[in-house]
């Protein structure tokens, strides 16, 4: 099974970590968003990452991919069958993709992706405004949502945790660490989630990649 993309993207990381938490072997094929090669566009018609190839089956979009993987490999269950629990899991998945990383993208693009990988494109003022004006409400909400629990929904790892941790993992490449004094439950939760092997290995590689790019730009 192959997943195309870069795990600096929270959507790619979500799909890869989801597969690995299910014990599935995944080959990550480095691919930039918007890749125009005919081979990639045959898999992902609009250039989205991640894109999946599983035998002769192809699929693009992270939520579509994890839904497919859950149906094909139901154990361990990462999307619960209980209607209320499933609804909450999908809510957090959507929150991660659209709200958490909606703000995280403004910081990541303008502080990391643009300056390091897009020829200096980036607006520091946009990133600063996102972190100052929008990020605190997100931190406060997720801090309250997790409370003193280990997982966002139920007593085991679910897609909710993978999606939220993935969105934060990407944003934290470009903003201040979560203040443990102000948001203690979120800081504890993210420390635990991002230390899981499927996350930790990917994030370490991403940090090294970003650092090499910084050194190259500053040389």
Q: What is the pLDDT of residue 156?
A: 98
| Residue 219: pLDDT over 90 | no
Quote the tokens at residue 58.
């192809």
DSSP one-letter code for 131: I
The pTM assigned to this predicted structure is 0.96
Pairing of strands 27-30, 2-5: parallel
pLDDT level of residue 53 (50, 70, 90 thresholds): very high
Sheet holding 51-54, edge to edge: 27-30, 2-5, 51-54, 57-60
User: What tens digit of pLDDT does each residue of 72-89 get?
Assistant: 999 999 999 999 999 999
User: What tens digit of pLDDT does each residue of 149-200 get?
Assistant: 999 999 999 999 999 999 999 999 999 999 999 999 999 999 999 999 999 9
pLDDT level of residue 109 (50, 70, 90 thresholds): very high
| Residue 118: pLDDT over 90 | no
pLDDT level of residue 119 (50, 70, 90 thresholds): confident
Q: What is the pLDDT of residue 171?
A: 98
| Residue 130: pLDDT over 90 | yes
Q: What is the pLDDT of residue 120?
A: 83
Q: How far are the Cα atoms of 35, 163, 185, 207 from residue 44, in angstroms, in the given order?
A: 9, 21, 38, 27
Residues 6+ apart with CB under 8 A from 154: 80, 85
């Amino acid at each position: 099974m192959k997943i195309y993309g870069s795990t600096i993207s929270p959507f790619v990381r979500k799909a890869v970590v989801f597969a690995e938490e299910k014990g599935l072997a995944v080959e990550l094929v480095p691919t930039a968003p918007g890749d125009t090669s005919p081979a990639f566009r045959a898999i992902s018609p609009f250039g989205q990452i991640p894109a999946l190839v599983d035998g002769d089956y192809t699929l693009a979009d992270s939520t579509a991919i994890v839904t497919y993987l859950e149906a094909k490999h139901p154990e361990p269950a990462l999307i619960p069958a209980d209607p209320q629990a499933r609804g909450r899991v999908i809510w957090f998945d959507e929150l991660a993709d659209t709200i958490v990383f909606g703000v995280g993208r403004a910081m990541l693009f303008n502080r990391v992706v643009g300056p390091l990988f897009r020829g200096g494109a980036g607006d520091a003022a946009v990133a600063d405004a996102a972190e100052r004006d929008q990020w605190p409400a997100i931190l406060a909400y997720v801090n309250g949502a997790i409370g003193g629990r280990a997982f966002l929904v139920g007593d085991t790892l679910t897609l909710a945790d993978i999606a939220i941790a993935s969105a934060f993992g990407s944003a934290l490449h470009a903003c201040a660490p979560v203040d443990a004094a102000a948001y203690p439950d979120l800081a504890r939760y993210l420390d635990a989630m991002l230390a899981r092997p499927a996350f930790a290995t990917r994030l370490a590689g991403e940090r090294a990649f970003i650092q090499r790019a910084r050194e190259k730009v500053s040389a």
